[in-house]
């Protein structure tokens, strides 16, 4: 909304190209998240199939366990991608904060709060899947990525909200 209500206003003519690029990026962002939703559905369906594999014999259990570990790794990847996209969204909000229509600046703050909440939500889904994975190297790599996204997201969201509040007061 901030971008749309900034675009085409004479007062913001100098940043119009940048606003248009942000709106295009946000449109692409929406498609990417929609694709991730579909990917998550597909991965969950696979996980459900795998979890119903037979486990009557030791060989069955071994096959099922390998398949479950693979399915869990794939299940951890999607919310990790969502967390990364949320961080990207916070970076876009930071850009809008600088050039967007100040009359709608609270929407940038609200967007930052929601993006951080979505990042935290995705992080919980990564963590639950990681808790069942036995591959310690995989867990270590994914936790490192997740911690990076979470810390950067928290810091950026906090900074955006603080700056929005400062702009509202002045």
Handedness of CA 128, 131, 135, 137 (dihedral sign): positive
pLDDT below 70 — which residues of the chain? 170
Residue 63: per-residue pLDDT:
95
Residue 133: per-residue pLDDT? 97
Is the Cα dihedral 111, 113, 116, 118 positive or negative? negative
Domain assignment of residue 53, given as a range: 2-169
pLDDT at 2: 79
Q: What is the CATH number of the domain that holds 87?
A: 1.20.120.680
Beta strands in the chain (DSSP E): none
Helices 136-169 and 58-99, interaxial angle, to 10°?
A: 20
What is the count of structural domains for the chain? 1
Which two tokens mark 49?
A: 């199939």
Separation between Cα atoms, residue 73 and residue 67, nearest integer Å: 10
């Amino acid at each position: 909304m901030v971008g749309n209500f900034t675009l085409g206003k004479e007062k913001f003519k100098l940043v119009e190209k940048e606003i248009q690029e942000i709106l295009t990026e946000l449109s692409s962002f929406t498609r990417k998240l929609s694709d991730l939703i579909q990917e998550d559905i597909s991965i969950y369906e696979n996980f459900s199939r795998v979890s119903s594999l037979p486990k009557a014999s030791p060989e069955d259990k071994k096959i099922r366990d390998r398949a479950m570990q693979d399915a869990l790794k794939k299940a951890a990847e999607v919310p990790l991608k969502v967390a990364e996209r949320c961080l990207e969204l916070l970076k876009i909000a930071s850009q809008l904060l600088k050039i967007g229509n100040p009359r709608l600046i609270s929407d940038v703050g609200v967007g930052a709060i929601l993006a951080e909440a979505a990042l935290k939500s995705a992080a919980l889904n990564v963590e639950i899947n990681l808790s069942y994975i036995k591959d310690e190297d995989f867990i270590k790599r994914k936790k490192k990525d997740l911690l990076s996204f979470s810390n950067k997201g928290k810091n950026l969201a906090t900074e955006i909200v603080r700056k929005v509040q400062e702009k509202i007061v002045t």
